[in-house]
Amino acid sequence: MAYTSPAVVIDNGSYTTKAGFAREDLPSLVFNSNYMVNPETQAVIVGDDALEANCQNEVMTLLDNGLIYNYDNIIHNWQYVYDNIDNHNPIDAKEYPLVLTEQSWNTPQNKVTTCQIVFESLEVPIFSLVKTPIAQLYRAGKSTGLVIDIGSSVTSVTPILDGIIQQKSSYHSKYAGDFLNLHVLNYLESKTPFNNLIPAQFAHASDSFKHYYASHNILQEYKNLSISYQIKSYQLYNHENINVQDQRNYLENLFDPTLNKLPNVTVPEPTLDKPGSHGLTNLVFLALKNLESSLLPSSNDTTSQNKFARFIEIFKELLSNVFITGGTASANGLPDHIINDLRALTQKYFPNYPFSYAVQQIRPNNTENSETWDRQFGAWLGACNLASMLNDHNEDSNSAKIALDNWFITKADYEELGEDLIVEKFK
């Protein structure tokens, strides 16, 4: 059965929500994932312009550690998509398939709660949860690869073999874009008071709004300018110029989170039993070492020798398909830094295997803008590719059936089979 209506695809990130129809080349909606509640009417406020217009209210979050935790209000985020997706005209959720992305460490209970909302409250006809790294790698045209995703709130390292996430060798940490923002803010506050960073029109805004605005505007703009153009001064809204020639390369904090101290922020010393306490290079190393221990045969008989040859083949393919993605990964020079570190890692810690020469970064598109879009919207674009299979009307193709059998749950199946079907289909 092929569907005629295009799927609605929503990628909820901690920083922004990306949404649009699966047939589109880029998401038609990119808006802040935070929200407010009007204290008088209890109405939920969503959308960049609406947040600014109500700046006196507190700004609240929907995600933590890359996962939705605020299920009481996530439906308002999704409803905002349905109300605005068609050139800011509403559509009926009952008439369109829905695809959401999820992190690979999402919990079974979260999956069940998500399905309850989309089927019972939104009443969508058919639904899928697509794992973010799978969508990103699929977008790159690969089924095996090492996905390094550096987003706003989370950095993750995910080995994928033949389309299967190696969960026990997948790690993530909170040393990502927001962590860099803390260093940038600390630096700017050493030059000028925090309130000087905020436009005068928001002088009486709530503290949470001021910090939200600084993060999504000033800090983001400053990072983009200073990394891409090595600026010597930065102009504030009040036309004050800050001399930034003595700035440090704060990207290094991704690789060594303990490098520069932050006031009132305790960064724990990294330990082997807590992968999330490590910087980016060590996070990749721990993922590869764990994968090695799970794949490497322990004996030297003929069968093990064949397995060893297969192990070498798998690692070479994995390391020749390194996909670096996420909004923070757009920082100038960061991908090359990661690849160089990865080559050095394999030479130092895997000297008996011919891996180092194989380390290569996947670039889905050759043009600079396309690469930027793929980093920012890779998960959304990959999920669109999978969702588009539902609309395949080619009689010689089984794409629609494959999608329905493997990745989607219909409302009727949900009502009949419930939680067991969700856990099995989206495991």
Burial class (CB in 10 A: 0-12, 13-18, 19+), 410: middle
Selection from 378, 353, 355, 352 nearest residue 365 by Cα: 378
At 300 the pLDDT is 65
pLDDT digits (tens, 9 = 90+) for 219-229: 888 876 665 55
What pLDDT does 413 receive? 92
pLDDT digits (tens, 9 = 90+) for 252-311: 999 999 999 999 899 999 998 999 999 999 999 999 999 988 887 666 666 667 777 888
pLDDT at 381: 94
* 417 Cβ contact list (under 8 Å, min separation 6): none
- Taking residue 273's Cβ as centre, other Cβ atoms within 10 Å add up to 5
Amino acid, single-letter form, for residue 148: I
Contacts of 277 (CB under 8 A, 6+ apart): 173, 268, 269, 270, 271
- At 337 the pLDDT is 92
Write down the pLDDT at residue 374.
Answer: 82
Q: What is the pLDDT of residue 371?
A: 73
What pLDDT, on a 0 to 100 scale, did the predictor assign at position 293? 86
Report CA-CA distances (Å) from 356 to 27, 75, 313: 37, 46, 13
Contact 7, 97 (CB under 8 A): yes
pLDDT in tens, 337-376: 999 999 998 888 887 777 667 889 987 665 455 677 888 8
Q: What pLDDT is stored for residue 392 in this prediction?
A: 66
- The predicted pLDDT at position 403 comes to 65
Which of 84-99 are b and which e, b meaning 16 or more Cβ less than 10 Å from the residue's Cβ?
bbeeeeebebeebbbb
Look at residue 331 in the predicted model and tell me its pLDDT: 81
Tell me, yes or no, if the pTM score tops 0.85: yes
Read off the DSSP letter of residue 217. Answer: I
pLDDT of residue 247: 63
Phi, psi of 102 (to 5 degrees): -145, 150
**Domains in the chain, ordered, with CATH?**
8-132+379-425 (3.30.420.40), 145-175+275-371 (3.30.420.40), 177-255 (no CATH)
Per-residue pLDDT, 133: 96
Helices 132-139 and 368-387 sit at what angle, rounded to 10 degrees?
120
- Residues in the chain, pLDDT under 50: 367
